[in-house]
Every structure is written in C-alpha cells, then in structure tokens.
Amino acid sequence: MIGQSKVFLETLGVIEKISDCNAPVLIEGETGTGKELVARAIHYGGTRRKYPFVPINCGTIPDALVENELFGHKQGAYTGAQSDNAGLIAQAQHGSLFLDEIDALSPKAQVTLLRFLQDHLYRPIGAGKTCCADVRIVVASNVDLGKLSERGEFRTDLLFRLKIIHFKLLPLRERHGDAALLANHFLQTCAEKFSRGDTTLHPETLAWFDQYSWPGNIRELENLISSEYLLEDGEVIRFESPVFAKGERRIGIDRRRTNLTSMDFNEAKNREITKFEQCYLIEALIKAHGNVTKAAKLAGKERRAFGKLLKKYDLDKNLYCL
C-alpha cells in the first residue's frame, strides 16, 4: 500500500489496530479504491497471516448454490456430487474469508450468512454433524449498506453483525499527493513486467494528477499508466488528463507521435499550433476548474476571445469542473 496523504496514513493506523482482533470488518469505498488490498493487509498484518486468505466476489455466487459455496458438501449429497468438497469457510479455516460486493447477496444468502455469523457453526450439505469454523470475516461494498438497509434492500440485523469494525476508504481524489506516488510505482511495475526499460512522467503530466477526479480511482490510474507505458517510445511519458475521453484525448497519443517531416512545413506548423492551442486551453480550464472567466484571466485574454477559442475547438467547460 502506497501513499503519504494524511487520510492514507490514518487508514494504515486503523489497519494496524484491528489486524490482531477477530471481529468482523466492513470496508466501504468506491470501486477501485483498493478494498481487497486493505482486506489482505488486515489479514497478513495479524496473527492469522500463516493461514489462508480466501476471497470471493458475492456477485458470482448463484443464489441456489450459496450454501454449497460457503459450507461445501459430502459425496453423494446430491446428483453429481461425486466427492467431498470443502466450502469457502473450510478453506479459510484459521484464516480470513473476504466477501467482496457483499451488497450483491440475495435475501436468502443474507439469511444463510447471518445464521453462520451467530455462532460460526455450519453443516456441509449431506453431512451428519455440525462443524465449527475458526475464521475471520471481512466484507466489502462499493455502496452504502446503511442506505440499502434503510430501503429494505439489505438486512439490518446482518449489517449490525458485520459492522463491528467499519471504515470507509476515501477516493483517490481526496488523497492529495498520492496519485503521483502510485503512478511512479506502477511505472516501475511495468518496467519489471514488460522489460521495456525505465521511464519517467513529464512534470506537466504530474501537475494535473491532484486536479483530476479519478472516477475509477487507483484502478483507473494503474490502467492508464500501463497503457501509456506500452505506447510510449521514449524515456519520458507525457499525456493529458483523462477528462478528454469524449474526443479531446486524441491530442495525446496520436498527435504526440506524429512524424512532422512527413508533412510540408506549413502543414506541420499549423498542426503544432492547433495542438498547442488545444493543450493550453485545456490546461487553463483544468486549473480554473471549468470557470471560463478565471481560465481567460490565467491565459491573459478577454473572456469573449477565450470563449471563441473554446468554441473553435469544441471544448466543453463542464468536463473540467472537478
């Protein structure tokens, strides 16, 4: 886990405090904020580290197979059960069971999980005796379970069982300074994985990292860095903010790699002027958070003239209201 922001360091402090206890943990946060990574940190930072960490996405468990997935079955328990099968709980014995997207569990599955959490006793399908599990339950959700509970879409009694230890992971946009650290880490990972040499990020690229909203959070950043690393031919990577995804992004990869000598002088000159004007306008909008008056002032131009340039390049100020 990488970061230096205050909120990130506070999260590390919480993880350290709760790693050694056995109470259930509920982790909430937007998609891509690293909930499974935190769950693993809790497991491997505690006394259960020598035992299995078993993750499962609840959205992939068919409603009819919930008990079979969690508790397993004995040979002959039903047609097709040709051998014993240990469920997820047995696989995680003495370790941790991580239930991601817990909000995806059906009402039936929620009842099944609630019953298990009451005493940690379960019976594999077709078994003649009850088993006792020594397993820590860690769950995650990218939606607010409290609000789901208020709407009757998630059992309140199950929420109380899971919410003994609860914390929310803040999105990357609220972790000032961490995006640049993570980006450099992902670059090093790419260099090791793809063996295409070391690269660095251009200062102008790093400049907007704390201004962009990162709707996909850390996962979006990682994917973006991987893509740019593989497409870059030089040692310095420079690209514009992903807010250009609706078309403006074309000024990045494609034009950045244009061979100018393949065109005559005037054509190449006009293309570079166009590219410069677009980049300048976009950077001004980013710094002004979409406020055209402020952006025009930053550019040293009258608002009306600045607005004409935005219209010329079909730039939507609303895309930069971060």
User: Which CATH number characterizes residue 284's domain?
Assistant: 1.10.8.60
Same domain, 248 and 149: no
| Residue 98 near residue 54 (C-beta atoms within 8 A) | yes
Query: Which structural domain, as residue segments, surrounds residue 288?
Result: 178-320
Same domain, yes or no, for 162 and 282? no
What's residue 248's pLDDT?
37
Residue 89 lies in a domain: yes
Q: Are residues 43 and 151 in the same domain?
A: yes
Q: Are residues 160 and 228 in the same domain?
A: no
Note whether 161 and 216 are same-domain residues: no
The verdict on 214 and 267 lying in the same domain is yes
In a domain, 199, yes or no: yes
Domain endpoint, select from 170, 187, 214: 170
Domain boundary among 148, 170, 192: 170
- What is the CATH number for 56? 3.40.50.300
**For the chain, how many structural domains are there in total?**
2
182 lies in the same domain as 301: yes
- Stretches where the chain sits below pLDDT 50 are 245-258, 322
β 165-169/25-29 pair status: parallel
pLDDT reported for residue 81: 72
Nearest alpha-carbon partner for 89 in 19, 40, 18, 137: 137
Q: Encoding tokens for residue 47?
A: 């006394």
CA distance 36 to 138: 9
Residues 6+ apart with CB under 8 A from 24: 117, 136, 137, 138, 139, 161, 162, 163, 164, 165
Same domain, 127 and 45: yes
Return all residues near 134 (Cβ < 8 A) that are at least 6 apart: 93, 94, 120
Q: What is the pLDDT of residue 147?
A: 94
Please say which residue of 124, 154, 170 terminates a domain. Answer: 170
In a domain, 285, yes or no: yes
Let me know how long the chain is: 322
**1 part of a folded domain:** no
* Same domain for 36 and 156: yes
89 and 117 in contact (C-beta within 8 Å)?
A: no
By the 10 Å C-beta count (0-12 exposed, 13-18 middle, 19+ buried), 63 is classed as exposed
- What local confidence, expressed as pLDDT, does residue 247 receive? 36
- Look at residue 243 in the predicted model and tell me its pLDDT: 66
pLDDT at 262: 63
Q: What pLDDT was estimated at residue 101?
A: 93
Check whether residue 161 and residue 34 sit in a common domain: yes
H runs (alpha helix) in 232-302: 253-256, 265-287, 292-299
Give yes or no: residues 111 and 216 share one domain: no
**Could you tell me if 118 and 89 lie in one domain?**
yes
